[in-house]
Amino acid sequence: MITTTSEYAIRAVGYLTNSEDDVRIGSDEIAEATHVPKRFLLKILNTLKNQGILRTSRGIGGGFSLAKDPKKLTLFDVVSVFEDISRFSHCLSGDQNCSSENPCPLHKKWNAILEKMEDLLKGTTFSHYREYKKLHEKS
């Protein structure tokens, strides 16, 4: 339900989350680790930089790093940079009169799915990536 661009952005930010704080990572490394085409990744990374989610530096030791605390940065923060989640809220049946008061046959089920997706995106921070990594390093 989210675009490839958003998926790639989540991968890249997730990868950066697991790096040491204030260590810059080059786009080549991010592209290879996340399996995202480099040219496409660069556009995504620059957009995230322009939105204040990432930081960049040039030169030796340069690259990308998080500009926000992973404990406060949600999947929704990243996905909403690339797409309008509310675009999913239209009636799947094409019923122009569909509403909570006058629901189409799909209305309740579709709204439940949308609410779960929004809960997932808003309720999942990138700190989960660090927790996952720590858990798997111990095994």
How would you write the pLDDT of the chain (139 residues) with one tens digit per residue?
Answer: 789 999 999 999 999 998 876 789 999 999 999 999 999 999 999 999 999 999 998 877 789 999 999 999 999 999 999 988 776 677 777 788 888 888 888 888 888 888 898 899 999 999 987 766 555 565 5
Residue numbers of the domain that contains 27: 4-138
Let me know: does 70 contact 76? Beta carbons within 8 Å: no
pTM assigned to the model: 0.84
- First-to-final CA distance of the chain: 33
Q: What is the model's pLDDT at position 90?
A: 74
d(CA 55, CA 71): 17
CA angle 124, 9, 56 (to 5 degrees): 110
Q: What is the CATH number of the domain that holds 96?
A: 1.10.10.10
Q: Which residues pair with 65 in a beta bridge?
A: 55
Number of domains, the chain: 1
